[in-house]
Amino acid sequence: MEELSIDTKNILGLKLPTDPRWVDLTALQLEEILTDHAYCEQKAATTCISLIQRYSDREKLVKELSPIVTEEWGHFRQVLAELQKRQLKLGKQRKDVYVNKLLEFQRKGGHPDERFLDQLLTMALIEARSCERFKRLSEGLDDKYLRNFYRRFMESEAGHYTLFINLAEHYLDKKTVRKRWLEWLKYEKEVMKEMELRGDRIH
């Protein structure tokens, strides 16, 4: 298997690793964690569609995000198939406390480019944290099949993270992007500190 980059191994600059106990909790709630994972993939696809609709004049963004929509929806179907294979049910979608906390940090006023940057960095951060969580599952679950299952998702999410950062740096000043990214990482660390440790959610 192709060796992961140093950035991916370090999980992309995240300031606070997931508590190792989280994996043990997820193993006790497979139906719930797979349900939540399925909806996370679904929301990733619909958010990319929204970005394409909002910024249809940005040719590179449209070109780069279009296949991500297909990929994320394919991930939704993979997780749904895993639920069905295990004779588990797709439960109800829950309120995503983590994502809602990130949305609070997005700039609502100011220059449109600032809002655009925050939208891309929000997606990058969600993908980075998902990658980190999938890494935990790929290493910590007793179920060998599920370890491999989440290894593949981890590798995919790492690529998505870099895509959103690269798009931001294509349209905006690189130093501006990196400065704001560090602010996001600092904020996300505090969000993670406050989040309840639960095994029924990806974030």
Look at the pTM and tell me if it is higher than 0.85: yes
Number of H helices, E strands in the chain: 8, 0
Class of domain 19-194: mainly alpha
- Locate the domains of the chain by residue range: 19-194
pLDDT tens for each residue of the chain, 203 residues long: 334 444 444 546 899 999 999 999 999 999 999 999 999 999 999 999 999 999 999 999 999 999 999 999 999 999 999 999 999 999 999 989 999 999 999 998 889 999 999 999 999 999 999 999 999 999 999 999 999 999 999 988 778 888 999 999 999 999 999 999 999 999 999 999 999 999 999 99
CB atoms within 10 A of CB 165: 22
Provide, for the chain, the percentages of residues in helix, strand and coil under a 3-state DSSP scheme, each rounded to the nearest 5: 75, 0, 25
Q: Whose CA is closest to 4, among 193, 135, 168?
A: 135
d(CA 5, CA 158): 10
Residue 74, helix vs strand vs coil: helix
Q: CA 66, CA 122: separation in Å to the nearest integer?
A: 18
19: left (phi over 0), alpha (psi -120 to 50) or beta: beta
